[in-house]
Structure 1
Amino acid sequence: MSQENNPLPMTRAPDGIVRAHTLPHKGLVRHASPLSLLVLGGVLLLGVSGLLGHAGMDRDTYRSDTLSHTLDVEMPVVIRTGDFFETRLHVKAGADIAKLTLAVPVGLWREITVNAMVPQPESESADGEAYTFDFGPLRAGKEMRIKIAAQVNPRLHGVLEGDLELRDGERVLVRAPRRLRVLP
């Protein structure tokens, strides 16, 4: 045969490939182990079940009140690292508060990035123990809702806990113990 009639020259198969490898297979050919399919299915079911966070029950509303004031805190109790989340606070003043201050312990916001707080506090500060946000006066019988949008930094996992405090300046009015479990 001349090169003109056969445009592709004959090539040799790579080492280890024999003619039997190129013939069609007869019968059932396995491409994946049933065990790998079961493991994949188990991982998918575990993720959908919500046992690793984000189930319908992963948010909690905690109410802390005294004879005069009430603080409701809604925040997740289980969250995954890297996720965005919201904390909502609802303050009811039973008596005049001259300088409504929210104090968040440093341990509760370790490796947390706060993206927004609505309404914006009049002033904010931090010491070694807490971040404090001053919102000004709140008259008796009035309410204030505060929304905090935050994100868990990717390297964080474990448990964060501490007492949120509602203060009148430096005087503690209400404490709300909170605990946040961060899964990898």
Structure 2
Amino acid sequence: MRRLFPDGIRPEHRQPGRWDGAASPLTFLLLAGAMLLALSGQLGGNAPRVQVVHLGAADLVVHDPRVLRNGEFFELRVAVTARRGLADMVVALDPAQWRDVTINTMVPAADKEDFAGGAIRLHYGPLEGGERRDVKIDGQLNPAHIGEAVGPIGLYDDERFLGAIDAPIRVMP
């Protein structure tokens, strides 16, 4: 005897269902919601934040990401324009913000690096009034880094504190 359907398949399986051949509204809404969330920048991938502070002796500009995903590569740029001569331009980084971060490149390299006053200090030497120095740091977040990395980026003229910019970065899994 010849069968019309294989074992386990009955004629009602061939009858079109309510959503056959069309996308489910629920699937469409879930996909649209995921796309809107991604486009909002709340999960990373957005343009860097630009912060500017005028400190009297110098102007400090920091380009940094607001939201990153762990394992992601990132770029931090610090620009200092001296309004008057600086004996030793020092960029100070909070070590809490740099835990579980691998630094791949730092251009230009600091003349001297040390740890003082609870900060990683990068010494770049003298900076004449009106002169600008840009520092570019490329890094990668280690997979263990999740949560908020909070810490200031400070500017010193040798040992004299000029000011800082808070640079919190939210790290998503």
**TM-score, normalised via structure 1 length:** 0.76
Q: Cα gap change, 1:127/1:21 in structure 2, threshold over 3 Å: closer, same or farther? A: farther
Amino acid at match of 2:55: T
For the 8 Å contact 1:99–1:169, the answer to whether it is kept is yes
- 1:28 matches 2:19: no
* Aligned partner of 2:151 among 154, 162, 177: 162
* Aligned partner of 1:100 among 69, 72, 89: 89
* Aligned partner of 1:176 among 162, 165, 171: 165
* Aligned partner of 2:80 among 91, 111, 115: 91
Amino acid at match of 1:176: I
Note the C-alpha offset of 1:23: 8.5
- 1:54 matches 2:45: yes
Task: Quote the residue 2:7 is aligned against.
Answer: 19
Kindly report the root-mean-square deviation, in angstroms, between the aligned alpha carbons of the 2 structures. 2.8
Task: Quote the residue 1:12 is aligned against.
Answer: none
Q: Cα gap change, 1:49/1:98 in structure 2, threshold over 3 Å: closer, same or farther? A: closer
- 1:118 matches 2:107: yes
Q: Quick one: distance in 2 between partners of 1:94 and 1:48?
A: 40
Q: Cα gap change, 1:128/1:106 in structure 2, threshold over 3 Å: closer, same or farther? A: farther
Note the C-alpha offset of 1:151: 1.0
Amino acid at match of 2:45: H
Equivalent residue pairs, number: 166
Structure 2 residues without counterparts, runs of 5 or longer: 1-5
Task: Quote the residue 1:3 is aligned against.
Answer: none
Higher strand share: 1
Q: Cα gap change, 1:182/1:139 in structure 2, threshold over 3 Å: closer, same or farther? A: same
* Aligned partner of 2:34 among 12, 34, 43: 43
Q: Quick one: distance in 1 between partners of 2:141 and 2:120?
A: 17
- Cα displacement string for residues 15-35 of structure 1 (whole angstroms, at most 9, x for unaligned residues): xxx7344999522376xx945
Amino acid at match of 1:82: G
- Cα displacement string for residues 121-164 of structure 1 (whole angstroms, at most 9, x for unaligned residues): 11112358211111111111111011110111112111111121
Q: Quick one: distance in 2 between partners of 1:79 and 1:49?
A: 13
Q: Cα gap change, 1:75/1:23 in structure 2, threshold over 3 Å: closer, same or farther? A: same
| Secondary structure class of the residue paired with 1:43 | helix
| Secondary structure class of the residue paired with 1:103 | strand
For the 8 Å contact 2:42–2:67, the answer to whether it is kept is no
* Aligned partner of 1:142 among 103, 126, 131: 131
Alignment identity in percent?
33
**TM-score, normalised via structure 2 length:** 0.81
